[in-house]
Each structure stands twice: as C-alpha cells, then as structure tokens.
A = this chain, B = another copy of it.
C-alpha cells in the first residue's frame, strides 16, 4: 500500500500540546472573566448560507471566503468572523432570550488570505458583546472586562485606549466635512503605518480637504496628555455641534465609570487617534496594546454599533462588544515567556518498575489523583533511564520511583525533576508530601 504524505494545508497548522495547553488557558480565563460579568456562552454552526455571510466584511472578505455547494445544492460558506453569525443569531433568537443579551462565543474562523507574515487561514477568536442597550454602562463594563481579562492572563504592561466616534464627527461638523467621515476614518486608521504626512496626502487626495482642515484633523488625532488633560483640551478642538457634545459627554462618562470600577489610571487612556477602520462603529471604540510588544498592534479591540442585525431583522439591536485574537495573543505570550511549558504535563510522573506489582502502581496512582494531583503512570516496565528521559521531555515536575525494595518498606523516592533532588517519603504520606513539594516549588 502506498503511503499518503501526512501534511496540513498551506496556511493551516496543528497545535501541539504546549501551545494547545496555552490556548486552553487563555480561553478558560476569558470565559471565566466574561461569566463573572454575566455573559453567557453561545455557539453557532461553522457553515452558514452564503447569503448570510456575503457582503458583510467587504469585497476582500467575500473573495477570501471558503464557499461551496453542499450535498443538497445549497450555496454555503464557512464563517470568517463571529460577528456576522451573532447578527444572524440575534435576529433569530433575541426575542425569546430578551435584552440586554450578553453573550460570549469562542471558535475558529476561516479566511483564505495570503499566508505571508505568520498569518493563518484558520484562527480562533473570542468575542463578547452586550446587545440591546444604548446605556454607556455597557461601554464601561466592556472596558472593565478587557482590563480584568488581561490582568487575569498575567499581563503587567497593557493599556486600553478608547475613543468615541462622535468626537471626530463633531470636528467634521465644525469643518463642514460631514460627508467625508468614512474617507477620513480610513485615512486615520492608517496612521501607524503611513504617519501624519501619509495621512495628510491621503486626506487631500481622497477627501479634497484644505490644509487648514487637515491640520485640525491631525491636531485631534495627535492630542496627547493625561486623561484629564485630553478631556480638558477636547471641547476647543471638536466644537459644539450636537454630535461633538454627545462624544464629549460619552468620553467623560465612560472614563468616570472605569475609574469607579477601580481600574488603575495607567491601564486606560483616552486616545482620540483610535479610529477602527470598520464603518459600523458609531460610539465608543477601543484597542488594547502591550507595552512590551508595541509592534504587534492591538490585541483586543471593539466598539459600539447602532444596529447589529438590520440585514436580518427590523428589530433595532444596538450594542457594544470586543474581539480577542486568541492565537495571536498566544504568539505574543510565547514571545514574552508567559507560556508555562509544563502546563501540558501531569504534576506527578510515576515510574513503573516491578511488572508483577502493576495493580499496586495503579492503586497508588488512583490514590494520588483522589488527593488532587494529576498523575501519569508509565505504561511499561522499561529501564529507569528511558522512563526518566520521557518524564523530562514531557515536563513533569515530580517523579515517584518505587522498586521492589521500596514496596517492601512502603516508601517512595520522590524526585524534583527541575533540581534532581530526591527525598524518601513513606507511601502513607505520599499525596500530601507531593502536594507540599509542588507548592513549595511554586
């Protein structure tokens, strides 16, 4: 029989235990934080009718979609994000579930992108949204969720930058550029890549703005200082149109709410340069940056939208949400040395020595598990060297070694694998002593 070469598709990859253990930890942390705020989980099918997905993410997204005809002749496609499925889901179920509807959703999405620069065609997203309320309390809570999530993941230097779309709209009102919002947003969103000069060029070319208008827009986007300084400087720049007033009041209210929630001041920044290219955001927009890895851009972003599901229902569904790129975040955590390499292995490795005693080893492993330890028992009575090599490679922390003599004296050798230090422990105390040693080692 000829061998089929074992390989993954271009742009796809396997997750080996260490990386997958990190992904599980990130997802479990995100779930736990969201549940703490009353978000509930949902799931939607990977496949949708193509008409549900087409045209929602723009031309590029349509072109990159994995789309085909199923057995029943239906035109179907694999989801490219979790937002469009949420819109469809909300239109279908929200009457029954009631609002505010707070959900989180984690799963893979697919985009047939170019695979250069470490981009993959399958990646996992974690989204959370609050639907059916215009209350700014939901905006505050969204930012607090992001804060608690990154704190729980163990990040120290992270900052959530937030803005409100109405500030820029207010300025455009003042400048007589009301109709150019989309063009201006697109240009501003490129700031990190093309700089102020590039943005100026694009504004002149695409929106026909004057030098003075360009300068006002760049003055807004370039505003820096403490949160209070920025808030104090804004009114003079954005003017006093109704949209400007709305934006100013919203920024102040969200900032006050985040402070009232006990978020440290250095974790949150009013940053009027945050544009978020997507046209559907209408109020608060935010991005999250890691101080130690500024180059990777935002690791968690989102914003407020006026109407999530207008394509599928006449019921108006305003809301706010966020999206965490799980795989991208794990790559960042690996780069920062934050991934626990032993997370994929059981705490305790039990070597198997005396084949006639296999029942005793099994009973001992069961006892240790009942004492709250995770335990891997080697399945074959191979030489000690081979078994210890396996335990080292797997990343176990403790090895329990019991030969015929130890069975007779009812003791075990317990070895800390990181230090190589061995201790003799009576079997009757083994569970407690292993727990203590793991705790001491931290």
Contact = CB atoms under 8 A, between A and B. Distances in A.
B379 A8 contact: no
B14 A93 contact: yes
B13 A40 contact: no
Contacts of A279: none
A277 interface: no
A362 B137 contact: yes
Contact of A37 (B47, B72, B374): B374
Nearest to A107: B108
Nearest to A90: B6
A417 interface: no
Given A9-B48, A46-B122, A362 B257 contact: yes
A344 B10 CA distance: 38
Interface in A1-54: 1, 3-10, 12-17, 20-21, 23-24, 28, 31, 35-38, 40-49, 51-52
Nearest to A346: B38
A345 interface: yes
A375 B7 contact: no
A138 interface: yes
A200 B72 CA distance: 38
B44 A379 contact: no
Interface in A40-82: 40-49, 51-52, 64, 66, 68-72, 74, 76, 78
A380 B311 contact: no
Contact of A1 (B35, B110, B311): B311
A9 B49 contact: yes
Contacts of A352: 137
A8 B71 CA distance: 16
A37 B375 contact: yes
Contacts of A52: 4, 6
Contact of A133 (B38, B71, B89, B380): B380
A257 B36 contact: no
A391 to B, nearest CB: 10
A314 interface: yes
Given A133-B379, A137-B362, A380-B133, A311 B4 contact: yes
A46 B257 contact: no
Interface string A121-151: 0100000001001010110110010001000
Given A6-B92, A52-B4, A66 B37 contact: no
A80 to B, nearest CB: 13
Contact of A36 (B36, B346, B349): B346
A165 interface: no
7 tightest Cβ-Cβ pairs between the two chains A and B: A38-B376, A260-B359, A68-B68, A17-B40, A15-B43, A38-B346, A12-B45
